[in-house]
């Protein structure tokens, strides 16, 4: 624990402390929310703060929901918003968390749950608010992604599911009128495409890890890691995965690492604005459902149609689905003096018709069944986003652990696969290197977080 806190304090000292103190419910006077902040400071009732990050559209939608809650709740609660941009998110959060200045209601990235709540006591135990917040609106298994050590520390705002999205118009231009459903279909279609355009690929993905994880979950029937920081896959499994991906890349089903670096870059990023994707040099993408709306919108500007494809299954699969994770989570400060009132606010923005409509879709897909129904009826969920909800509802998924997206894991895949693709190491050495790098990263995370 001392090592963990030392790391958090180091992160905290990297940026200046922000004003306010969540343990006293005093509202800082410098949040930049004008009249709302002044009302909170002078109000007679309970004062709460809500922190989040995003762009101006998200800020405006959230502030409207806060203002509506403040004017309509009958419990004397006043919430003040504490928005931020996208820069230095974890460093800023660590500063506030370690210093005790975090908001009473806060937004979390998924991996923060493992970093700050790994023992089940980093945030409020939300079982204590079950009489105020309606947890029945959430899938029971997916709700567990907000748990650590069996304690419900956070509520997943939305579900991100890994899927395959295809440029239907581009396939049709090659005379392919029936979209691929199996990996054999993808291989056949890739042959048709490359006969005319040898530099094109059917699928691009921000990282080889997405495809490798998809393959190994189907092969083994298990996720990569367990909550106790143990591994489910062997060095031989990783070897099989890199061999499979290399074969798919050679056949132009998935793009090669060399092509990705040349046309997208070294880092895993969205391809929604990528020139090769927009010009159908990549005929599809494998990524989270959270990105489908932006991918669809940019292709639509080019006159093309993006659709959600059926999930292909590998031969001999023990599992025929895909993976999922929360997009964001919401938590309550463990020292919050007014947890019931904080729960009332969460109920309003996550499950209440008026609050849900005002929050809208600025944070992507919602996990609450009530919120989904409300937004559909309000016309805010439609077209391919509606298809993404339908896909998510039907897909069999393995929910990833909170530390799944630690940077060291992606680096292990990227660096070692790159050497394998360029002929610098064998597939066996690549698989062993990924296994050993992941095992080492797990040990480090376990030491830091437990």
- Domain CATH number, residue 411: 3.40.190.10
**In a shared domain, residues 363 and 352:** yes
Rounded-to-integer distance, Cα 415 and Cα 410, Å: 9
Contact in structure between 39 and 347 (CB atoms under 8 Å): no
Are 95 and 39 part of one and the same domain?
Answer: yes
Digit-coded pLDDT (tens) for 361-408: 999 999 999 999 999 999 999 999 999 999 999 999 999 999 998 999
Residues 303-340, buried b or exposed e (16+ Cβ, 10 A)? ebbbbbbebbebeeeebebbbbbbbbbbbbbbbbebbe
Residues 33 and 145 occupy one common structural domain: yes
Query: Going by DSSP bridges, is the β-strand pair 147-148/306-308 parallel, antiparallel, or unpaired?
Result: unpaired
In residues, how long is the chain? 450
pLDDT at 28 over 80: no
Q: Which pLDDT score is estimated for 27?
A: 31
Residues 289 and 437 in one domain: yes
Instruction: Report the sign of the C-alpha dihedral through residues 128, 133, 134, 135, in that order.
Output: negative
Q: Which residue has the tokens 């939300």?
A: 126
The reply to whether 77 and 117 lie within a common domain is yes
Lowest mean pLDDT among 20-34, 213-227, 279-293: 20-34
Q: Total structural domains in the chain? A: 2
Q: Are residues 217 and 316 in the same domain?
A: yes
Is 400 inside a domain boundary? no
CB-count exposure of residue 80 (10 Å: 0-12, 13-18, 19+): buried
Paired with 152 in beta bridges are: 147
Same domain, yes or no: 75 and 127: yes
CA-to-CA separations, 41 to 23, 36, 77, 347, in angstroms, rounded: 15, 9, 12, 23
Q: Is residue 345 part of a domain?
A: yes
Residue 179 has pLDDT above 90, yes or no: yes
- What local confidence, expressed as pLDDT, does residue 449 receive? 83
Give the chain's mean pLDDT: 91
What pLDDT score does 23 carry? 32
Regarding beta strands 397-399 and 147-148, do their DSSP bridges make them parallel or antiparallel, or are they unpaired? unpaired
Q: Same structural domain for residues 77 and 128?
A: yes
Is pLDDT of 1 > 60? no
Shared domain check, 212 and 115: no
Are 123 and 192 part of one and the same domain?
no
Q: How far is the C-alpha of 188 from the C-alpha of 165, rounded, in Å? A: 18
Strands (E), 131-220: 147-148, 151-152, 155-156, 159-167
**Lookup result for tokens 């991100």:** 160
The per-residue pLDDT for 8 is 52
Q: Which domain holds residue 14?
A: 2-158+327-389
Are 340 and 321 in contact by the 8 Å Cβ rule? The answer is no
């Amino acid at each position: 624990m001392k090592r963990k806190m030392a790391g958090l304090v180091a992160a905290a000292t990297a940026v200046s402390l922000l004003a306010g103190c969540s343990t006293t419910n005093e509202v800082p006077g410098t949040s930049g929310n004008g009249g709302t902040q002044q009302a909170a400071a002078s109000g007679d009732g309970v004062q709460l703060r809500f922190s989040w990050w995003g762009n101006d559209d998200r800020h405006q939608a959230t502030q409207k929901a806060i203002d509506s809650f403040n004017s309509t709740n009958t419990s004397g609660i006043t919430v003040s918003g504490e928005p931020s941009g996208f820069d230095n998110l974890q460093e800023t959060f660590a500063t506030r968390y370690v210093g005790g200045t975090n908001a009473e209601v806060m937004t979390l990235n998924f991996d923060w749950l493992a970093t700050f709540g790994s023992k089940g006591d980093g945030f409020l135990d939300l079982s204590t608010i079950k009489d105020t917040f309606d947890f029945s609106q959430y899938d029971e298994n997916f709700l567990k992604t907000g748990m650590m050590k069996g304690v419900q520390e956070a509520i997943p705002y939305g579900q991100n599911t890994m899927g395959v999205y295809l440029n239907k118009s581009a396939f049709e231009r090659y005379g392919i009128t029936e979209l691929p459903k199996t990996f054999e279909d993808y291989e056949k279609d890739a042959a048709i495409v490359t006969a005319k355009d040898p530099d094109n690929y059917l699928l691009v993905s921000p990282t080889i890890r997405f495809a490798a994880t998809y393959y190994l979950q189907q092969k083994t029937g298990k996720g990569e890691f367990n909550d106790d920081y143990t591994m489910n896959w062997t060095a031989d499994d990783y070897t099989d995965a890199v061999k499979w991906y290399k074969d798919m890349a050679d056949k132009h089903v998935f793009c090669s690492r060399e092509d990705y670096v040349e046309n997208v870059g070294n880092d895993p990023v969205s391809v929604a604005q990528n020139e090769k994707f927009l010009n159908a040099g990549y005929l599809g993408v494998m990524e989270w459902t959270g990105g489908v709306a932006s991918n669809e919108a940019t292709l639509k500007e080019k006159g093309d149609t993006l659709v959600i494809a059926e999930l292909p299954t590998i031969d001999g699969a023990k599992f025929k689905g895909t993976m999922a994770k929360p997009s964001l989570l919401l938590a309550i400060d463990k020292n919050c003096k007014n947890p019931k009132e904080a729960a009332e606010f969460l109920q309003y923005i996550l499950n209440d018709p008026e609050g849900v409509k005002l929050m809208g879709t600025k944070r992507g897909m919602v996990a609450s069944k009530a919120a989904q129904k409300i937004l559909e009826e309000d016309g805010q969920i439609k077209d391919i986003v509606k298809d993404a909800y339908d896909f998510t509802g039907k897909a069999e998924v393995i929910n990833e652990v909170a530390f799944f997206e630690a940077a060291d894991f992606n680096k292990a895949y990227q660096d070692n696969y790159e050497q394998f693709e360029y002929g610098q190491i064998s597939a066996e050495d690549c698989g062993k290197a990924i296994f050993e790098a992941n095992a080492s990263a797990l040990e480090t995370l376990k030491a830091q977080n437990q």
